Amino acid sequence: MTISITPAASQRMRQFLAQTPSARGVRFGVKRTGCSGFAYVVDLADELVADDQVLDIDGVQVVVDSKSLALVDGTVIDFQRQGLNASFVFHNPNATGECGCGESFTVG
């Protein structure tokens, strides 16, 4: 199981975690939604459950649920700013297609 985060994503995650010291880490996974099937979820992990995998990536605790593991394995998480917009960007080798808006993806 490998997930990577760029220095920009690591810095942004650390900012979120600093604002909520009670958080156990950053939760990363997927949910069924969108026009292509799956959408990424990035949130603070307030608690851990039995099937969570906790990865220490560059000192950031990244929490991934067991249902998302196979879908996000190998993903590189980046954080980009474009004008007034800023967001996490995902480079997922498992994605075989994305919707036009970039909000959801499919796997083969």
Q: Give residue limits of the domains in the chain.
A: 4-107
Sign of the CA dihedral with 87 first, then 96, 52, and 59 last: negative
Q: How far apart are CA 5 and CA 90, in angstroms?
A: 9
Strands (E), 1-108: 4-5, 25-33, 37-45, 52-57, 60-65, 76-82, 85-91, 95-98, 105-107
Q: How far apart are CA 94 and CA 80, in angstroms?
A: 21
pTM of the model: 0.86
> pLDDT truncated to tens, each residue of the chain (108 aa)?
789 999 999 999 999 999 999 999 999 999 987 666 888 899 999 999 999 999 999 899 999 999 999 899 999 999 999 888 898 989 888 887 776 655 666 776
Looking at domain 4-107, its CATH superfamily turns out to be: HesB-like domain (2.60.300.12)
Instruction: Give Cα separations from 13 to 23, 51, 100 (angstroms).
Output: 11, 22, 27
